[in-house]
A and B are shown apart, each in its own frame.
Chain A
């Protein structure tokens, strides 16, 4: 329950990487929770989008990257369209996915091989392509 913060941790290299990929200023978030409130999939997240932004700003890389939040995000842009501070939260979620997918280990979130043949036959191309775009390196 305790975190130690210092000038080295707050807005650290990880936070800056998230900012660079997303083009968003993490300091601009005033933690109103509007993103979490309107998110159609926040019920399944272990951290709300607003918490992910806070954790990222504090430089808590491990905690953020262990959360399922950005893997659950469906890029529906509801958060982005209503953010009072004009933050494009969907871009922050994308950045977090990419922080992981761009690592040299290439830890894909979705392996096509794990999908059943029956399911692969059922799903439309659009689902598979967009899913792979979001979940694999």
Chain B
């Protein structure tokens, strides 16, 4: 027979007169071999933990149910302690019971007792999980090859662990690859990122699986079985030398997702000249051969004979001991924002599109030219908090990076168009990083960027202009600007498919689809599942500096986990 003990944290008794220890002890004692314990001091303290150890030893327990109000905080250290005491942590459970105010009623007490009783019933007869017996695999899968995933992969590779880096796109680099410069130093994003992508591609311990998506995940910590679908590239990457001739000769020019609609791409493409891996894929939605049945130009010109129109998806199966999810973000689609023209006004673009316009490798080779007619815009309006901080209609949260990147956009614009004027509509300026506030002030004082405190209610096309109706709440007035171009700092939202991936991994998401961490302050990169970690914008909006810190954190968590086995 299992010997089960119940631990109830005394914090749970405070201010709840009806929930007195006697009631709990008597109720639980009446239920078989369960040995309840009410303890003082709080269980999370050193002496509390020591008392639990004595309780376990004296009663020769092999399973423990803990009831407290913060299971996400107490759970991880407690499971480690169980391991130290020689108990199998998978046979014990830390339960969260309803908060004190609710427990002050008879119904609340019954609910708390019900939660505890369910916990007892659930662990009685629970079998030790298999992974405790099967070998612990010290390999890791990183999902998402943006700057976060790259950071974590390099850390883990350097520590000697084998890394599978999976990305949906044909090459790694993620959103950062689309950026022109980065704040607050105005470093060229590609120059900062390329050494990292190259290091990742050449790392002896990192294996890139790009143009691929995770199909399914089973098993648990130490022994996850993952299936990855590598989408057909229609190019044999073994044969391809990355010479680029196919892209050059491909006759179909189509609006490119990477260029955010302000530039064109080819049907056979790599994301950038410095792509890692530098191997192209064919977009069969737009390829002339796939859509119309003839063309085959790429096949004719390829000196390596690498084009393979019959290529099919392949399924890759791997075993890993831990997983890091770093699937990043998308921008809220401007096509859904009616008051800003539903995406139909050509000179109204989003922040990433502006990055492409400003990028030396972008469609205008870094010249600021507006999409409609290619003219250099002289009156440029930047709007912050678009679909962010708007609980009534869009996203209630602050997207965190927009204040800084908008200031950067305005400054970069001024560096290129000296006689132009940049206006920024803002509600608050949130510049909390190192050097950020100084960066903002410099833009205002030295470059004459005009901040207007207020939202923009509506904008519309009027002949050659985009008319902007905003407010300057500092004068109290409505402001009308006949702009040449408008840049929207749209809300960061989880990347497409993040929620479905989370379901495959059995990890939580919040109401917006961001992955939920085990505990916001103290366990920011742990998911609710042991062995699965989160990092970057998949967990919530953040800037590059913060996202890299989380990539580092997730990698060190995995190293600590592997070091225990």
Contact = CB atoms under 8 A, between A and B. Distances in A.
Interface string A34-62: 11111100110001101100000000000
Interface in B427-478: 427, 453-458, 469-473, 476-478
Nearest to B390: A84
Interface in A85-115: 85-86
12 contacts: A30-B427, A32-B455, A34-B454, A34-B455, A34-B457, A34-B471, A36-B478, A37-B456, A37-B458, A39-B478, A82-B458, A84-B455
B276 to A, nearest CB: 41
Q: What band does the interface of chain B fall in when counting residues whose beta carbon is under 8 Å from A?
A: 20 to 34
Interface in B349-388: 385
A84 B454 contact: no
A73 to B, nearest CB: 14
A69 B271 CA distance: 54
Nearest to B453: A33
Given A42-B478, A82-B339, A84-B455, A33 B471 contact: yes
A47 B457 contact: no
A82 B427 CA distance: 16
A48 B472 CA distance: 10
B96 to A, nearest CB: 32
A132 interface: no
A50 B393 contact: no
B337 to A, nearest CB: 11
B479 interface: yes
Nearest first, the 10 A-B pairs at minimum CB distance are A33-B471, A38-B457, A33-B454, A86-B392, A37-B457, A84-B390, A37-B471, A32-B455, A34-B455, A33-B473
Nearest to B470: A37
A50 B471 contact: yes
Given A38-B469, A48-B471, A33 B455 contact: yes
A123 B393 CA distance: 38
B458 A38 contact: yes
B478 A84 contact: no
B497 interface: no
B384 to A, nearest CB: 11
B48 to A, nearest CB: 42
A65 B470 CA distance: 25
A83 interface: yes
A36 B392 contact: no
A37 B391 contact: no
Contacts of B477: 36, 42, 48
Given A48-B477, A82-B393, A82-B457, 4 more contacts: A31-B473, A33-B470, A39-B478, A84-B394
B39 interface: no
A51 B476 contact: yes
A78 interface: yes
Nearest to A81: B339
Nearest to B427: A32
A50 B478 contact: no
B260 interface: no
Nearest to B468: A37
A33 to B, nearest CB: 3
B389 interface: yes
Contacts of B339: 38, 82
